[in-house]
Structure 1
Amino acid sequence: MRVRNKPWAQPLIDENTEIITETPEKFAGNWQERFSRQQPIHVEIGTGKGQFIVGMAKTHPEINFIGIEIQKSVAATALKLALSEQLPNLQLIAGAGESIDTYFKTGEVSQIYLNFSDPWPKTRHEKRRLTYKTFLKAYQNILPEHGVIELKTDNQGFFEYSLMSFNNFGLIFDQVWLNLHASEENETNVETEYEQKFSAKGQPIYKVKAHF
């Protein structure tokens, strides 16, 4: 989806480089230095307006979180939210998820979140899906031996594709939820903006947790 350019976005990013970066590859292997404490690092790819990553950082102060968002205007909106909360365990990246294995060294990230990723439903766009095998290889390159991926989506077709892709790549399934909000897992679930929108319409939210 095309996002309208916001003239305030770039200046806001430029003024807050201690929280957000457009050159994440410079910090590969040294991300802990951007946080107040050395803790496990969890990364969300496609952080949107930041509701999930900020919520997770508030809920889990024992974990360092990094949100990646390719659309600069959207990343700047997430930055606004992060600035209002002043969380020492939160960083943002304005960049593309497809380059993630240039942003981090092997084992630097403990867990990856894929929330309501673009399903790219057309067959010719399969390679753009964030659960395509080349993306899974990139995730494997930065995660430790048993690194975890969590995925949430409202799109049944994308969910089924992702389960197949995970299985073909050799990931081990920890658990699969076909209706997250009707399960016990929802008691500790931190919602995204899209998740609230779709669940309010009565659509089931699918989730899978798997590890390499």
Structure 2
Amino acid sequence: MGKDKLRKFAEVATFANVVQLEAGQAFKGKWANTFFKNEQPVILELACGKGEYTVNLAKLFPEKNFIGVDYKGNRIWRGAKTALEEGITNVGFLRIQIETILEYFAAGEIDEIWITFPDPQPQISREKKRLTHPKFLEKYKTLLSDAGIMHLKTDNDGFYAYTLEQIEGLKLQKKRETTDLYKSNLVDDVLAIKTYYERKYLADSKNINYVEWTFK
């Protein structure tokens, strides 16, 4: 591991807005009132990377709490540091494997889940690693409140098509969808937030897919 990664791993361990691994289990069922010290809704960004979406959503909605979830501490470092530097108090980060997410959040504790540009895991042998595989969708269904909402943004057409197949096969409630977000009429302040990777894709004239759905 490079020196810069090691430095970030060491620094992120000192950040008050980052919870790592098993320490996060203490907040299960009480992230709002214990971690954020309020009663506001909690929204997750899964595989948040550098946390651009998490931080920018928190800026747009100070009346809500946002948690970026990822396993790579050197990536979380960027979003967490920005939030600390800018005094954004309604944002936090949790470093865990997403497969274990039910150990960290209680049933119905989450109001929205964002999945932004995840690894599409294109190999058939890695289908179960895809974040919209039915085993993950079942976890999200448990976490979300009755009115909970799912969002996916991805540049990968194959992963998007796979996700739509799961939504339709499981008879979930699709609300909005587009295969070319920035040529659609769906773009608002929320969907206009761009991650580092999204900017790269757009610079290469890549279309951005988006779908919103619920479980009920």
Q: The TM-score by the shorter chain falls in which range?
A: over 0.9
Residues 54-85 of structure 1: per-residue CA shift (max 9 Å, x gap): 11100111111000011121112222222222
Work out whether residues 50 and 78 of structure 1, in 8 Å CA contact, stay in contact via their aligned partners in 2: yes
Q: What residue number does 1:29 align with?
A: 29
Work out whether residues 70 and 76 of structure 2, in 8 Å CA contact, stay in contact via their aligned partners in 1: yes
Q: Aligned equivalents of 1:58 and 1:123: distance in 2?
A: 38
Q: What residue number does 2:199 align with?
A: 196
Residues 100-151 of structure 1: per-residue CA shift (max 9 Å, x gap): 1111001110010000011110111000000001000111111122321100
Q: CA deviation at 1:160?
A: 0.2
Matches within 5 A, 1:15-26: 15-16=14-15, 18-22=16-20, 23-26=23-26
Matches within 5 A, 1:50-199: 50-188=51-189, 189=191, 190-199=193-202
Q: Aligned equivalents of 2:148 and 2:3: distance in 1?
A: 36
Q: What residue number does 2:10 align with?
A: 11
After superposition, the Cα gap between the structure-2 partners of 1:27 and 1:162, relative to the gap in structure 1 and judged at 3 Å, is same
Work out whether residues 44 and 69 of structure 2, in 8 Å CA contact, stay in contact via their aligned partners in 1: yes
Q: Aligned equivalents of 2:129 and 2:77: distance in 1?
A: 24
Q: CA deviation at 1:36?
A: 4.3
Runs of 4+ in structure 1 over 4 Å off: 2-5
TM-score (structure 1 length as normaliser): 0.93
Q: CA deviation at 1:10?
A: 2.7
Work out whether residues 4 and 73 of structure 1, in 8 Å CA contact, stay in contact via their aligned partners in 2: no
- Alignment: residue pair count: 210
Alpha-carbon RMSD across the aligned residues, in angstroms, is 1.7
TM-score (structure 2 length as normaliser): 0.92
Q: Aligned equivalents of 1:106 and 1:119: distance in 2?
A: 27
Q: CA deviation at 1:187?
A: 3.0
Amino acid at match of 2:14: E
Percent identity for Structure 1 against Structure 2: 31
Q: CA deviation at 1:184?
A: 2.6
After superposition, the Cα gap between the structure-2 partners of 1:58 and 1:169, relative to the gap in structure 1 and judged at 3 Å, is same
Structure 1 residues 105-114 or 74-83, which shifts more? 74-83
Work out whether residues 83 and 89 of structure 2, in 8 Å CA contact, stay in contact via their aligned partners in 1: no
Q: Aligned equivalents of 1:35 and 1:3: distance in 2?
A: 33
List runs of 5+ in structure 1 lacking aligned partners.
none
Q: Aligned equivalents of 2:126 and 2:165: distance in 1?
A: 17
Amino acid at match of 2:25: E
Q: CA deviation at 1:49?
A: 0.9
SS at match of 1:187: coil
Q: Aligned equivalents of 1:123 and 1:3: distance in 2?
A: 32
Amino acid at match of 2:18: I
